Every structure is written in C-alpha cells, then in structure tokens.
Chain A
Amino acid sequence: MKKSNKNLLLVIFLGIVVCLPFLLDDYWLHVAILTLFYVIMASSWNLLAGYTGQVSFAHAAFAAIGAYISGILSVQMSISPLITLLFGSVIAAIFGLGLGLLCLKMGGIYLSLTTLGFSEIVHIIIKNEYEITRGTMGLEVPNLLGFYSKTAYFYIMLLVTFIIIFFLAKLIKSDHGLKFKSVLNDELAASSIGIDTVKVRVIAFTISSAIAGFAGGLYGHYLLLITPEMSSLSQMFMILAMTIIGGMGTLSGPIAGAVFLQVLSEYIRIFGKFHLLLFGVISLLVIKFAPGGIVGLYRKITQSKTDPLKIETQSKYDY
C-alpha cells in the first residue's frame, strides 16, 4: 500500500474516532471509553512482550495499584485526582522497578511465574485490607473532573491514549527501541556487543508499569468504583488476548486487538465469563496459525504482491 493511501486511511480513522461522541449513544460511548483503557493497557503490555520478550502477568495488577493508590489518596487526603493520578503511576513504576530488579535477571518462565505470584499477592491484599481498600465491596472514588460527562471523559482518555501511543512509537523507533528489539531477537548476541540486557529489560518493565498505573487511575476515576476485579487474572488475560489477537510486536496490533475484543465482548455478554474461554481459544488459534495476529494478516494481504524482502523497518535507520 502506498504511503499516501495509508496516511489518508489514518486520517479518516482518526476523524471517525474524534467524532465518536456524536455518533454513539451513551452506552456505546461507555464501551468506547473502556476500549481506550484497554488500548493503553495492551499497548504498554506489548512493549514488554512484543518488543523485549518478557511475558509478564502483573500488568493488570499494576493498573490496580495505580487505581487504588490514586483512589485512596484522593478519598483520604482530599487531593485532586488530577494529582493523585500521577502518584498512582509513580508508585506503580516503583513496584515495577522493584519487581523488575528482583526477577528480570532470571528471565523467561521464571519472570512469568514471579509476576503471576506478584499479581496474586496484590489481588489478595486488595481483597483483604478492607479498612483501606473496602475489599470486595469496592472503593468509591471521586470523578477526575469534579463533574460527570462521558463526552469530556472520552476526550481525555483519547488524548492520553494518543500521547501514550505517540510516546511508545517514538520509544520504539529510538535507539532504546532498537536495544529492546535486539534483546528480543537474541539476548546472548546482544550482550556480546555491549548491550546490558538486564538493564534494557528493567527499563521496559518500569516504563510499562508506569503506563499501566496511570491507565488504571484513569479507569478508576471514570468508573467511580474500583474493585479487586481490576487485578484479577481474567482482567490480565483480556489484555494478553487483545495483544496476541491484534498482533504482538507491532504498534497497531494491540489497538486493533483491544477494539476488536472489547466490541466483541459486548455482543457475547450473554455467555458471561465464558467469553474469556472463547478469547483463549481464539488466541491459541492465532498463535498457531497467524502469529502476526490481525495486523500480520492485514500486512500479508496488502504486501503479498510486493517484494517480500522489502519489509518496512520500524527504526529510523534507513538507506
């Protein structure tokens, strides 16, 4: 596909997204806001799994940390959520850094298991520290803006999503991004040419935790009630399925996956929790038959006629 065509498509897509509040009813606008939350979550998880090869199960837990820290601070100390949101993100980043330093040296399956354990611990603490978190009853938190407007919230979420995607795109195209990809491609080779692979992974882990914490805070101050469900494995699993089905290791993959699965879940609501099972099956099929996900399939279709060697590179270094 020609570059100009691609840009035109992008502009049309963005135009539609910006107009969504005028096109959707109240309920679907709510779905759109949740979708944006998932777009941020899947994109930041993709930074880990898709660009540095670390399959973390703690991403939802980091969002919950962000939401609860921001929520608790704004409730108990009456600080504006606009400020506590940042605190939530910073605390999530600090936990991310700690967990990263603790287990990124191990890598691989050990990383996954440790993050799984961490995620469960966060879940249990939130459930049981009733005094602070209100346990399964859920914690009521103030609105981010001080007034309730879905349209306004949609635009805030959209702006944040744009900024984060833009930041991730810049990061991936930067020298840091190239280091990420080298570690993903071959850790041993990367370290043999001077790349501190542990440091690279800790940086990616911390950044993605910070983003998850921020997104979690935004989510909480929109829903106005946060529950331990946020840190549950089914929540984590949604993020994982979205990234895989959309296409890991691409910028657009998690966006496509989040939109696709979030809209699909609305239609298969009636099956209750079974929709997760369905997503699991789809994910497995995708991994087996179309490892590039939706985006990979799209690229295959649009690029099949061109020289297979001329694959678009994502870095800024080009001849």
Chain B
Amino acid sequence: MWKLKGENISKSFGGVTALKEVNFGIKEGEIVGLIGPNGAGKTTLFNVVAGVYRPDKGSIYLDDENVTNLNSHQLCRKGIARTFQIPRPFPELTCLENIMVSIIGREEKIHNSNEKLKEAKKFLKFVDLDNYGNILAKNLNLIQKKRLEVARALATNPKIMLLDEVFAGLNNTEIRDAVKLIERMKNEFEITQFWIEHVMGVIMEIAERIIVLDNGEKISEGKPIEVARDPKVIEAYLGDTDV
C-alpha cells in the first residue's frame, strides 16, 4: 500500500543522533511535507532514503521492495529523484548538458541524439529555462539554479521526488511560481512528492499530509491543520528563532 516506506530508521554522526527510530510512509500520488526546526534531521532522512548514507538501523521499502542497501544511482534508477537544500547543478556544464546527464543516466536509453536533445529541451522548458540552454550553470542565480535542479531531477523520469527546501530564499512572487511548478509536477508527471520545508508556510496549503521531526524524532503526523495545532509541534517551533 505504501509507495515509499521507512521503518525504524536511525542514524547518528559520531555523538550526534540525527535520526531516532523514525517511521514514515508515503502513498502513490501523495504530496507529503516534512517539517521541523533547524537540525531536526530532515535532510539526513532524505540522504538516507536517497542512498547517500546507510541507516545505522532500520529499513527502507520502495513498492514493498527492500532498498535499504542500494546506492544513490541505483535508487535513482528505481525511481527516487531528489533536489539538494543548497542547489548543486553541475557548475561547469551548460543548463542543457546538466539535464542531458540525467537522460543518459536513465535505464531506458534514448539512442537517437535528436530525440535526446528534444527530451532535454522539454524539461528545460518545463522550468522556464529554455533561453538558458547554452549558459553554464554556474552563471545562474539561486532561483534559476533551483529550477534547473528540479528539471534535472525530473529528467530522470522518477516516480518519487524528494524536494529539500525548494522555497528557501524565495520571495512571495517566486514562491507562487514555485507552487505552480509543484502542482504541474503532480498533474503532468504524476509524481509522488516528499517535501522538506523548514518553515510552516506554503507547505501547509499544498501538502496533503505533514510529518514533523524534532531532534531526530517524529513528534507529529497528520493533516496540516491537525499538525499546526499539535502542542508538541508548537513547542518544538517555539525554540526556533527563524519562524
């Protein structure tokens, strides 16, 4: 029933416990938000799910298949794509090449170069970067870099997208554009989305369900309204100065 499921995931770095026995599940087609104050362990959970770190304990299932021990590139080929909190497009490659890498990394290869080019342009267009194809990614501004990264992740043809703070550093107009992008991602590509936000803002309007982490532990889960009213969540956020 779960598209993606994590069971009792624990991860520590030296003395720091970043995740403590975290359980979560995401259904096909859902948009789930993951929130929590600074250092709660959100990014770490993504890194564990995406195969960057192995969990110390616990397992991850994708369509009921245990994928805990797979590497990043294997997980990507199984359909998990992600963006990074601080965007990491390939700086010395052009925007088009950035996306091309995703396309040639796919399991199902496109052999014809024109087809490949068409496919890459499709994703550039999707994030409104079609005029930037030949520009090196390092010359983009932050928002463009984020968009390029979303396009690059989308170009791997994922089933699930892990988005790490796509809204951070954006102003209101830009956030509205980003929201549109996320809705189109769901509608046009039918992608299940697992989505980190640091602040409780827009995410409360879009997400169907919210999971809250604090100090590496899941402290709350449910509909956005329920979570926002949860005393434990309010308390966790009280100590957090950024809200």
Contact = CB atoms under 8 A, between A and B. Distances in A.
Interface in B60-89: 71-73, 76-77, 81-82, 84, 88-89
B92 A185 contact: yes
B153 interface: yes
Q: Tell me which of B89, B91, B102 has the highest count of chain A C-beta atoms within 10 A of its own C-beta.
A: B102
Interface residues of A, number: 27
B48 to A, nearest CB: 13
B29 interface: no
B170 interface: no
Contact of B134 (A188, A195, A310): A310
Contacts of A188: 52, 72, 88
A175 B134 contact: no
Contacts of B82: 192
Interface string A166-182: 00000000010011011
B90 A189 contact: yes
A156 B155 CA distance: 46
B156 A193 contact: yes
B101 A179 contact: yes
Contact of A192 (B76, B91, B107, B117): B76
Contacts of A178: 93, 97, 100-101, 104
B105 A185 contact: no
B22 interface: no
B139 A309 contact: yes
Contacts of A179: 101, 104-105
Interface in A80-129: none
Contact of A194 (B96, B102, B113, B120): B102
A189 B73 CA distance: 10
A191 interface: yes
A104 B94 CA distance: 27
Interface string B134-178: 111001000000000000110110000000000000000000000
A185 B138 CA distance: 11
A184 B91 CA distance: 10
A181 B136 contact: no
Contact of A182 (B90, B96, B113, B136): B90
B136 A185 contact: no
Interface stretch (A8-16, A22-30, A259-267, A311-319): A311-319
Contact of A185 (B81, B93, B117, B155): B93
Contacts of B73: 191-197
Given A189-B88, A193-B153, A315 B100 contact: yes
Contacts of B134: 310, 313, 318-319
16 contacts: A175-B100, A178-B100, A181-B97, A182-B90, A186-B90, A188-B72, A191-B76, A192-B52, A192-B73, A192-B84, A193-B101, A194-B73, A194-B77, A309-B136, A317-B96, A317-B120
Interface of A: 175, 178-179, 181-182, 184-186, 188-197, 309-311, 313, 315-319
Which 8 pairs between the two chains have the least Cβ-Cβ distance?
A: A194-B105, A185-B90, A191-B72, A194-B76, A189-B88, A175-B104, A193-B102, A182-B101
